[in-house]
Amino acid sequence: MLEPLQTAGELVRRYERQAKKRFGQHFLVDPNILGGIAAAANIVEGDRVLEIGPGPGTLSTTILGLGANVLAVELDRDLVAFLGEVLAPHPGFDLIEGDILAQNLAEILADYDAKFVADSPGDAPLAKWKCAANLPYNVATEVFFRLADVMERFDSLALMFQREVALRFVAGCGDNEYGVLALMSQLYADSEIVMTLPPGAFRPPPRVHSAVVRFQPIAGTRIPDPELRKAFKTLVRQSFQTRRKTLPNALNSTGIPKPRLKEAIEAVGLDLRVRPERVSFDEFVALATELRADLAL
Ligand SMILES: C[S@@+](CC[C@H](N)C(=O)[O-])C[C@H]1O[C@@H](n2cnc3c(N)ncnc32)[C@H](O)[C@@H]1O
């Protein structure tokens, strides 16, 4: 007979004295917050949920309590041992020990899916994945980019970031926080902040405020042509390398001759003095279309 799931409070009480700063370990205990993250990811019974950095299993137990299945990736060996003791015996919980950035996400999701198909034979395709995570902030944006590469596998994602970073994901054109993260998230998903949390919501408390961003993947991407998408990404990254430059100056680093840059920028109806933070998603797409042949991709 399985032990019942422990509460987040019990799990954190058992583990918090061993929390390691270098792994960004700040644990959530409030069941309302944990339930709110699961709700933001639209998690329901039977779902397959990828959780990054389960810590002592606070969010994992919340998700398991909803009757969903969790595939968790945890870097800290001590936490893996702890989770092995408290959660691994529970059906529905699977754990991979390792760095999330070292995983081939497409592969680990497919491996897990294979197990599900084998368990319940039938012709119906598996539903898409959900993702919920209170991310370690030092790798959080990189984790987003890895998830973006497999975004079509997900139905919804609720990810906790440092608040300043969360604002950069949801920023609109012209906002101070608008840049690479806003444009990259628009490429794959609609996004909104669904919760902001003070440091005191975590144990031990971090130095910064935090926010949960809900990403709702769109079908495919907003730029279906892979070559055009590549050109768009190159232009966006180059444009925001240095703030406060005009677009033609910011794009100097592409190696495209200045006269050609100016011609293309004017051809898409932009002023030559425009700064990248005032260029909308659609205008970047138009510029990428205009310059794709000039970019050494
Ligand atoms: C902010 S804590 C979240 C813990 C728990 N989910 C919670 O909300 O209470 C971040 C977790 O990510 C783990 N972690 C840090 N870097 C990681 C990495 N590169 N790959 C996977 N897990 C990582 C940490 O050990 C820690 O357990």
Query: What's the one-letter identity of residue 75?
Result: L
CA distance 54 to 133: 8
CATH 1.10.8.100 segments of the chain: 226-295
CATH 3.40.50.150 segments of the chain: 8-217
**pLDDT attached to residue 122:** 66
From first to last of the 297 residues of the chain, give the pLDDT tens digit.
556 788 988 898 988 888 899 999 999 999 999 999 999 999 999 999 999 999 999 999 999 999 999 999 999 999 999 999 999 788 899 999 999 999 999 999 999 999 888 766 666 788 999 999 999 999 999 999 999 999 999 999 999 999 999 999 999 999 999 999 999 999 999 999 999 999 999 999 999 999 999 999 999 999 999 999 999 999 999 999 987 899 999 999 999 999 999 999 999 999 999 999 999 999 999 999 999 999 976
Residue closest to 61 by CA, chosen among 14, 17, 108: 14
Report pTM: 0.94
Report ipTM for this prediction. 0.98
**CA 136, 140, 142, 145 torsion-angle sign:** positive
Distance between Cα 191 and ligand 1 center (Å): 22
Nearest CA to ligand 1 atom 18: 99
Strand order in the sheet with 48-52: 93-97, 69-74, 48-52, 129-134, 154-162, 210-217, 189-197
CATH architecture of 226-295: Orthogonal Bundle (1.10)
- For domain 8-217, the CATH superfamily is Vaccinia Virus protein VP39 (3.40.50.150)
Identify the residues whose C-beta falls under 6 Å from ligand 1. Answer: 23-28, 52-55, 58-59, 73-76, 79, 99-101, 134, 136, 139
CA quadruple 240, 246, 251, 257: dihedral, nearest 10: 180
3-state secondary structure of 284: helix
